């Protein structure tokens, strides 16, 4: 509120000093009080943060710099943002992780990710139709469960995932469900994602569509599902396809 009040007070002063004396804004504005781009942060605050004082949305993720600071996301990382829907436990890494190459065995489809690799980002659609990126959770521990709607053990795990989220979320954790096939073995549609979310009592878990197999095969070691992956806050992979359903040992 204090910042807004300052903006309104300054606006007439800037106008009155510009015209009679022909000064530009830069001549007499005080960086400590001026918010040139109107994003809620003064130019001085932006200099300290490393954000652009002349661009309200430095990282171009659709959320203004001031709003990101208030929400605890990074104004310089476009993956770090607050999702409109879902209440997900997003992270706040300033630096975008540098992914390595998958260094695990080739599973006759792809080279797989191995423990110690830095995961590449992926972006998939969730049950709300939003694009959700892995790197949005940088700074948090992540457990990804790949499953299919025809798979009994996948349903059993899905039944438990909200309880896991509730237990570890406050410590900095987000569980992610990824659906690779519907009940008939076909690519899931939007309703399948919604049903998976609702039928298994999820509250703040993204259910992502990987019907195109863009992500799953690279984490698949034995072609059995559910395939569970644990990733640390710096996006280093901690466990691939070892049927470990409790993130506790990694936190
Ligand atoms: Ca500003
Ligand atoms: Ca700015
Ligand atoms: Ca932004
Ligand atoms: Ca951001």
Per-residue pLDDT of the chain (251 residues; tens, 9 = 90+): 444 444 444 444 444 444 544 445 554 557 789 999 999 999 999 999 999 999 999 999 999 999 999 999 999 999 999 999 999 999 999 999 999 999 999 999 999 999 999 999 999 999 999 999 999 999 999 999 999 999 999 999 999 999 999 999 999 999 999 999 999 999 999 999 999 999 999 999 999 999 999 999 999 999 999 999 999 999 999 999 999 999 999 99
Structure confidence at residue 9 (pLDDT): 45
pTM: 0.86
- Report if residue 101 sits inside a domain: no
Residue 129 Rama label (left phi>0; alpha psi -120 to 50; beta): left
- Report if residue 215 sits inside a domain: yes
28 Cα–ligand 1 center, Å: 17
Same domain, 33 and 132: no
39-67 burial string, b = 16+ CB within 10 Å, else e?
bbbbbebbeebebbbeebbbbebebbbbb
Same domain, 241 and 134: yes
Same domain, 64 and 166: no
Query: For residue 80, which ligand has an atom nearest its CA?
Result: 4
Same domain, 64 and 127: no
State the pairing for strand pair 141-148/227-231.
antiparallel
Compute CA distances 152 → 114, 156, 189, 224, whole Å.
26, 6, 19, 12
Structure confidence at residue 22 (pLDDT): 47
44 Cα–ligand 2 center, Å: 10
CATH number of the CATH domain containing 209: 3.40.30.10
- Report if residue 63 sits inside a domain: yes
Q: Which tokens in the block code for residue 86?
A: 């879902």
Domains of the chain: total? 2
DSSP 8-state symbol, 126: -
Which tens digits make up the pLDDT trace of 208-224? 999 999 999 999 999 99
41 Cα–ligand 3 center, Å: 12
What is d(CA 197, CA 205) in angstroms, rounded to the nearest whole number?
A: 8
135 Cα–ligand 4 center, Å: 11
CA proximity to 7, closest of 44, 47, 39, 34: 34
74 Cα–ligand 4 center, Å: 5
What is d(CA 119, CA 113) in angstroms, rounded to the nearest whole number?
A: 8
- Per the CB < 8 A criterion, the answer to whether 61 and 81 are in contact is yes
Q: Which tokens in the block code for residue 251?
A: 């936190």
- Bridge partners, residue 123, by sequence: 133
Structure confidence at residue 52 (pLDDT): 98
- Report if residue 159 sits inside a domain: yes
Query: For residue 38, which ligand has an atom nearest its CA?
Result: 1
Please identify every residue whose CB atom is under 5 Å from ligand 4, which is an ion: 59, 61, 80-81
- Per the CB < 8 A criterion, the answer to whether 50 and 69 are in contact is no
What is d(CA 195, CA 139) in angstroms, rounded to the nearest whole number?
A: 29
Domain boundary pick from 48, 71, 94: 71
| Boundaries of domain holding 62 | 2-71
226 Cα–ligand 4 center, Å: 32
Helix %, strand %, coil % of the chain (to 5): 30, 15, 55
Domain boundary pick from 34, 55, 71: 71
40 Cα–ligand 1 center, Å: 6
- Report if residue 83 sits inside a domain: no
CA proximity to 38, closest of 70, 11, 77, 73: 11
Query: For residue 73, which ligand has an atom nearest its CA?
Result: 4
- Per the CB < 8 A criterion, the answer to whether 208 and 176 are in contact is yes
Whose structure tokens read 């995932």? 161
Domain boundary pick from 43, 71, 99: 71
Rg for the chain, CA atoms, rounded:
22
Q: Which tokens in the block code for residue 62?
A: 């659709």
Same domain, 146 and 224: yes
- Report if residue 216 sits inside a domain: yes
- Per the CB < 8 A criterion, the answer to whether 219 and 144 are in contact is yes
Structure confidence at residue 25 (pLDDT): 52
- Per the CB < 8 A criterion, the answer to whether 84 and 129 are in contact is no
Please identify every residue whose CB atom is under 5 Å from ligand 3, which is an ion: 57, 59, 61, 63
- Report if residue 104 sits inside a domain: no
């Amino acid at each position: 509120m204090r910042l807004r009040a300052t903006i309104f007070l300054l606006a007439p002063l800037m106008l009155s000093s510009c015209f009679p004396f022909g000064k530009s804004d830069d001549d007499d504005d005080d960086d400590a009080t001026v918010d040139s781009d109107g994003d809620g942060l003064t130019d001085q605050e932006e200099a300290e943060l490393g954000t652009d004082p002349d661009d309200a949305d430095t990282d171009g993720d659709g959320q203004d710099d001031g709003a990101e600071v208030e929400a605890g996301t990074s104004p310089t990382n476009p993956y770090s943002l607050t999702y409109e829907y879902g209440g997900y436990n997003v992270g706040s890494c300033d630096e975008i992780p540098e992914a390595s190459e998958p260094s695990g065995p080739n599973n006759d489809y792809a080279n797989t990710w191995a423990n110690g690799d830095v995961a590449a980002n992926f972006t998939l659609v969730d049950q709300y139709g939003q694009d959700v990126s892995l790197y949005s959770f940088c700074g948090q521990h992540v457990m990804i469960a790949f499953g299919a709607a025809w798979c009994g053990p996948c349903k059993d795990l899905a039944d438990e995932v909200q309880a896991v989220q509730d237990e570890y979320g406050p410590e900095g954790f987000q569980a992610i469900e990824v659906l690779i096939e519907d009940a008939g073995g076909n690519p899931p549609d939007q309703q399948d994602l919604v049903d998976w979310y609702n039928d298994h009592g999820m509250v703040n878990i993204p259910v992502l569509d990987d019907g195109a197999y863009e992500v799953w095969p690279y984490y698949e070691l034995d072609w059995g599902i559910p395939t569970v992956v644990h990733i640390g806050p710096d996006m280093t992979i901690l466990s691939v396809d070892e049927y470990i359903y409790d993130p506790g040992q990694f936190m």
